[in-house]
């Protein structure tokens, strides 16, 4: 079994995936625009992503720009959990994700290791863990 996250955005999917590709050293693959897919959307939306994937070592996420008639609400409908090998690496990822976003739980030592929870500038919730 393979479970993946599928993230929905309000027109800024490519910007978000570029940000995440830098954070996680991953590549954006299988990019398809609404124009490529010949889906009926407003002309201003044709260059938005109808589907894309972010893939790298330990990460494989699918994402898209929801069509304008699909309501997307920033909220807690999804949390992405990231497990890292070292405290320094985890803290760096947490700091990058939380920059321009909101920190809910500071990155610090907990009963099970190091942990922090934040919402990034794109409205995606992240839990960053390290057992070091």
Q: State pLDDT tens for residues 103-115.
A: 999 999 988 899 9
Helices (H), the chain: 13-24, 34-37, 87-98
Tell the CATH topology of 79-130. 2,3-Dihydroxybiphenyl 1,2-Dioxygenase; domain 1 (3.10.180)
**Mean pLDDT confidence for 3-7:** 85
Q: From CA 113, how far away is CA 132, in angstroms rounded?
A: 6
Tokens coding 62 = 């699918």
Q: State pLDDT tens for residues 36-93.
A: 887 888 898 999 999 999 999 999 999 999 888 887 776 666 789 899 999 999 999 9
Instruction: Read off the pLDDT band of 120 (50, 70, 90).
Output: very high
State the architecture of 6-65 in CATH terms. Answer: 2-Layer Sandwich (3.30)
Of 25-34, 59-68, 93-102, minimum mean pLDDT range: 59-68
CB 31 within 8 A of CB 50: no
Tokens coding 100 = 């321009």
Distances (CA, A) of 20 to 63, 79, 95: 11, 15, 13
Q: What is the pLDDT of residue 70?
A: 81
The residue with greater pLDDT, 122 or 78, is: 122
Domain chopping of the chain, boundaries: 6-65, 79-130
How many C-beta neighbours within 10 Å does residue 64 have? 19
Of 15-19, 86-90, 128-132, minimum mean pLDDT range: 128-132
- Helix 13-24 with 87-98: angle, nearest 10 deg: 160
CB 33 within 8 A of CB 43: no
Note the pTM of the prediction, 2 decimals.
0.80
């Amino acid at each position: 079994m393979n479970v993946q996250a599928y993230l929905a955005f309000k027109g800024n999917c490519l910007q978000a995936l570029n940000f995440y590709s830098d954070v996680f050293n991953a590549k954006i693959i299988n990019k398809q625009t609404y124009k490529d897919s010949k889906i009926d959307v407003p002309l201003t939306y044709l260059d938005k992503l109808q589907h894309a994937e972010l893939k790298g070592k330990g990460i494989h996420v699918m994402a898209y720009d929801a069509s304008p008639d699909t309501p997307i609400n920033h909220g807690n409908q999804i949390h992405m959990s990231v497990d890292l090998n070292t405290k320094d690496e985890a803290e760096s990822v947490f700091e990058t994700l939380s920059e321009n976003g909101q920190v809910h739980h500071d990155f610090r030592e907990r009963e099970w290791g190091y942990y922090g929870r934040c919402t990034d500038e794109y409205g995606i919730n992240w839990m960053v863990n390290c057992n070091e």
